[in-house]
Structure 1
Amino acid sequence: MSHASLTAAAPTTGLALHWRVLIGFAIGIIGGVLAYWLAPGNPIVAGVIDYIAAPAGQLFLRLLFMLVLPLMFTALILGVAEIGDIASLGRIGWRTLIYTAVVTSIAILIGLIVVNLLQPGLGFDPALRDSFLATSGSQAHQIAESKPTLSVIEMILGVVPKNVVKAAGEGELLAVMFFAIMLGIALVLTPTPATERFKEAVQGLNELVMKLIGMVVKLTPYAVACLMFALTARFGWDVLAKLGQYVIAVMLAIGIHMFVVLPLWVRFMGGMSPLRFFRDSQEAILTAFSTASSTGTLPTTLKCAEQNLRLPTKVARFVLTVGASANHHGTALFEGLTTLFLAQCFGVELGLGQQVMVLGLCILGSIGTAGVPAGSLPVIAMILVYLKVPPEGIAIILGVDRFLDMCRTALNVTGDLATAVVVAKGEERSDTAEAMAAASSSPKV
C-alpha cells in the first residue's frame, strides 16, 4: 500500500515562497531600521511594535509550535515504520549519531579557535561590563537559576519518559521522540491487520497536520516581516556596535562552519553540489533565521528536504525530526565561544584541559538544548558555573543574543539538512551494495 507524501507538492502560481520570504525579510529590516533612526522612542512606533508586529510574529510561532509535537510524533513513527527493518533503522540511527558528534565537535573547535585567536573579551571595559550587569542583571539571574543539569546519566534517563503525556505537556521533545521511535519499531515487528490500521490512522493524522502546516507556512513572508521589523525597530544596531568584537567573532565562526565545513561535507560525503544544497535549502534557512527556532522551522525543513532536495522520505523524517532537538551545530559553537568570551571578560584564564572540558560540555549541552529562542543561555550559565565564572555574566550578551540566536539557528537547520543529505547518500550506497550482494549470491539459471 502506498502512502501520500509527507508534503505532497501542490501547484503554485506567482512568486515562489522562498522569494516572498526573502522580500518580507528585507522589508522588515528596512522598515525597522528606518523607524529606529527616524523616530526613536516614538509612541506610535512603540505601539506598532507592541500591538501589531510583535504579536503577529508570536502568533505565527505559536501556530507552528502547536503543530510541531503531532508532526514530530507521527513523522517519527512513520519514518521508522517505512525504514522496514531493524538493521536499516540501526544503520541510519548510528550514522546520524556519529555524523552529528563529529561535525558538532568540528563546530565547537572552530568556535574555540576563533575566540582564542581574536580574544574579544580580553581587556573588555569593566565599566561597560558593569553597566550590562546593572541593566540586565535580574534577567540574567533568572536564566542562571533555570540552568539545566549536564549530568550524562540524568540526560540518558531523561530520554525515557515515565509518563509520555506529561513529557509532551512539559515540552520534553526527546522523551516524546523516544516513545515514537519505540512505537515505530513495534510496528515493524508486529505486522498484523490491527497494527496496519493503526499505521493508517497515524498516516491520516500526519496528512492532516501537514495540511494545516501548509496553510500556516503561507503566512511566513508576513510573519518574517513582522518579526524583523519588531527586532530592528526596538533595538537598532547600537548594541551590536558596543559588543562588536564579540559579534564579529561569533559570526566569523558560524560563517566558517556554514560556508566552508558544511559545503565540503555535503560535496564529498553527500555527493551533492553545495550550490544546489543552499539553493534548495534557502527557504528553511531564512525561516530559521527569522524565527530563531529550529523546532518551529521543522515543517519547512521537512518540506525543503523532500520537495527540493529530493531526499528519501524515510531518511528525511527520521534524521530531521531527531535533528530538530539533538543536532545543533550552531548552538554548540555559540556555547563554546561565548563561554570563553565571558571567561575573558572576567579575567579567568582557561587552560587546554579546561577548554577540552568545555568542548565535551557543549556537545552534551547542544543535545539537551531546547530548539526555541534563547534555549542555549541556561546551558551557558551551567558551563560558567563549572569554570568558576559568575553565571550572571550572561547579562553582557543579552542585548545581542536575539540577533546571534537567529544566526546560530540558521546554522542548526543547515546542519540538519546537511546531515540528512549525507545519511541519505550512505543509505543509497548501502542499498546498492546489498542489491549487488543479493544478485551475486542468487543461483544462476
Structure 2
Amino acid sequence: MKDGEGHISIYIELMDTSSLPTGWTVTALVNLFVFDQIRDKYYTVPAQYSFTTDYSLVRFSAVKLEWGITSFVELEVFNDSSNGYLVGDDCVFGADVFLIKQPINKVNVLWMKLYPKGNGKVAGNNISAYLCLDNLTLPSDTNIFVKFSIGVRNVVKSTIIKSTSTGKHHFDYLSPSVGRLHIYPNGNKMKDGEGHISIYIELMDTSSLPIGWTVTALVNLFVFDQIRGKYFTVPDYSAVRFSAVNLEWGITRFVELKVFNDSSNGYLVGDECVFGAEVFIIKQPINKVNVLSLSGEGANHLTRTHIWKIRSFSSLSLDFYESVKFTCGDFKWWIKLYPKGNGEGKGNSISAFLHLDECNLPSDTKVFVKFSIGVQNVVRSDIINSRAEHHFEDLSLGRGFRKLISLNKFEDLKNEILVDDVCIIQADVSIVGIVTTK
C-alpha cells in the first residue's frame, strides 16, 4: 500500500490516548532500529536533513496515530545472516521515543550585547550585536519565544540600518544568547553548495556551559516569502546536537539561486530578504551510566561452570526441561533444554538456552555475559558445545542455541554420550560487565 515491497517496513503507533484533551497533539523524537546481533550494534535510518542525530521529529494527533519508515531495510540485506539482523530465526526491532514538552512561556529581562570590532568569524570587519536573556531572572524549565531585530539608527535620515536576518529564538537557561546565522549568497562552495543559498546557525556564548557540554535542539532555518506572508523551510525542524567541537549546523543547499532571485517567489523583493531560525532546546534528564568491567583474580565468583545430569534421557517426553538454578556473580541462572529441538531446530536438533532469573536483576541493569552450553562426550572426555555473548536484561532474559547438536549426530554418538542413560549438560558462564543506568 505504501510501496514497501522488497523491504522491511516498521511503524510506531501511539496507544492509550483516552486521557488526552480534545484537539491534542504530541511531539516526539523517534528513532526506529533493528539490532545487529553479531556486531552488537543498532542499525537505524538517519533523520532527513540531520547529520548529527538519528532521531526524526514526529507530531502525533488524533488523526495521525502512526509513523514509520516504509523502506526501512532491504529484505535481501535483512535475510543475510552475515549482517546480524536475523540470526537463528531471531531478530530484535525497537524504538526510542523522547516526548518534547513545551513549558508555558513567561516574559523576563532581555538585554543587548555589542561587539564594536566584531566577534567570531567577522571580528575586525563588522560590528556584531546579540540579544541576550538575563538568566538570573529566568525560572527553571521556562522558555521565552522572541521575534526580534537589531539595528543601528541613522539619526540624520531617521532610518534604521537593520540586519537582513530577522531572529526568532526560544531562550532558556542553556541558550541565554542567540546563535548567529551564516548565509552564503552564492553557496558554500567548499561543501558543494554552488548554485544555491547556503545557511547555517552557529551557537554563541557557550562560556557558561560545563566542560564536555552538549546541547540538543530542534532547529528550523527559513527564508520569508514577503509576497504571500509565509516561511519557506526544508522540510521543517531538524534535531541537532551541538557541542564544543560542533558549534555550527545548517543546510548547504537550502534554496536554488534561480528560485531565490526570481522576485515572483517573494524571497528577494526590492533587494531585501529575510532569513531566520527557530531554535527549541530539548532538555533531557541526566542519565548516569556506570560501566563496570570485571576481570582478574578478584572476579573468580563471576565465572561459573554448572553441570546438569539428566537421568533416563531416552525416556524424556516433555517439550522442554529446566535445570536447578545456580549462582554466577550476584545473579541466578538456569538452563532450559529442548530434547527434540525448538524453533528451526525442532525435530532435527537438541536446543539449549541460558536464562537469567529476573527476580535478581535490578531495574535498568544489563549483564554482559560470555557463555557456552555443551553436551559431554563421557567416553572421549570432551564437550560438543556452542559459544555466545549476550547482554541479558529485563527484555532479553534468555539466549542460547536452537541447533546445539543435531539429533542424527547425537544418535551416532549415543553410546559415548549416554552412559547409563544419563546425559550431562555443561554450561560455562562468565560475567564480563554490568551496565546500570540511573
What is the TM-score of this pair, normalised by structure 1?
0.18
**More strand per residue: 1 or 2?**
2
- Comparing both chains, which one has the higher relative contact order based on Cα–Cα distances under 8 Å and sequence gaps of 6 or more? 1
Report the structure, 1 or 2, having the larger helix content: 1
